[in-house]
Amino acid sequence: MAKQNLTVFFQGEYGAYSEEAAFEYFGSQIETCPRPTFNDVFQDVVDHEKAFGLLPIENSLAGSIHRNYDLLLRYDLSIVGEYYFRVRHCLLAMSDVEIDTVRRVHSHPQALAQCENNLTNLGVEKISEADTAGSARMLRDINDPHAAALASRRAADVYDLKILAENFEDNPANYTRCLSLSRQHNLTENINANDFKTSAVFSLENRPGALFRALGVFALRDIDLTKIESRPLVGKPGEYLFYVDFVGHVDSQTVARAIEHLSEMAPFLRIFGSYPRHQITL
């Protein structure tokens, strides 16, 4: 999705995996803007009409990022794209450090966990930090000859660090699904529904068979439901919102009828958007 002169907000510091994903998805000509929290990313996209946000929503190993599901509901933004980013952890150090002299490795707890076997074989102390890119920046600042960090290849470039090892993760099937957010909706012609995915959220009355009947609107029309996620309904203990992703576009007749059918049984229903579907290439 190469585009020029775009501003893309992401959570973290320069060199974060989200920034690396933004360059892969949007192209190299974008301007990336780091923000300290996910909430800040949403707010900045709201405040900038032509800007985009790129946020992780799910990791294939660690699961869903529930905070971002909650923020999707809070802000009036559209999902306009998705991208499955292959996470490749790099072991980084100062330029004069060799891998056999490393005694300590700093990174986000999730990155440390995803590289646990390799770190154990290396015989190093694992030190948790707030994020991966921040670990790389800290490494540059402290100039410790016995320390390394787990971060992205881009972090190595940003902080002028040496890559001691690439693809350091234990499991190569490590993908993060990212969502592209915008104030603007996708405008699409000549729709091939199978090339698109739609995301929505709805609530149901708490009674037997309610969810079964709701999901039946998709099964009845052979619509492929690719994800369902429940989140507590704030202020109503024991009740839930249901986030769904399914193959198809809201402007297609089949999906439009399914949504109309669902609205008849859902007290609350919101469509986040229809967007080009990204297929993982393993």
Where in the chain are the domains?
7-87+174-182, 90-165, 193-276
Instruction: Give the residue-averaged pLDDT of 184-202.
Output: 80
Write the CA distances from 249 to 1, 97, 123, 200, 253, integer angstroms: 19, 52, 51, 12, 9
User: Given this structure, which CATH class describes domain 90-165?
Assistant: alpha beta
47 backbone φψ class: left, alpha, beta (φ>0; ψ -120 to 50): alpha
CATH of 7-87+174-182, one of 3.40.50.10800, 3.40.190.10, 3.40.50.10310, 3.40.50.1820: 3.40.190.10
- For the chain, what percent of residues have pLDDT higher than 90? 89
171 Cβ neighbours under 8 A, 6+ residues apart? 61, 114
Q: Are domains 7-87+174-182 and 193-276 of this chain identical in fold?
A: no
Return d(Cα 209, Cα 87) in angstroms, integer.
39
Over residues 39-63, the pLDDT tens digits come to: 999 999 999 989 999 999 999 999 9
Give the CB-side neighbour count of residue 36, counting CA atoms within 13 A. 0
Q: 193-276 in CATH: which number?
A: 3.30.70.260
Distances (CA, A) of 118 to 110, 163, 223: 14, 15, 42
CB atoms within 10 A of CB 173: 11
Question: Rg for the chain (alpha carbons), in Å?
Answer: 21
For residue 121, is pLDDT > 90?
yes
**pLDDT band, residue 226 (cuts 50/70/90):** very high
- Structure confidence at residue 152 (pLDDT): 98
Which pTM value belongs to this model? 0.93
Q: Per this entry, what is the length of the chain?
A: 282
**What is the Cα–Cα distance from 85 to 63, expressed in whole angstroms?**
14
For 154, the 3-state DSSP assignment is helix
Dist CA 43 CA 54 (whole Å) = 13
Average pLDDT for residues 248-258, to the nearest whole number?
95
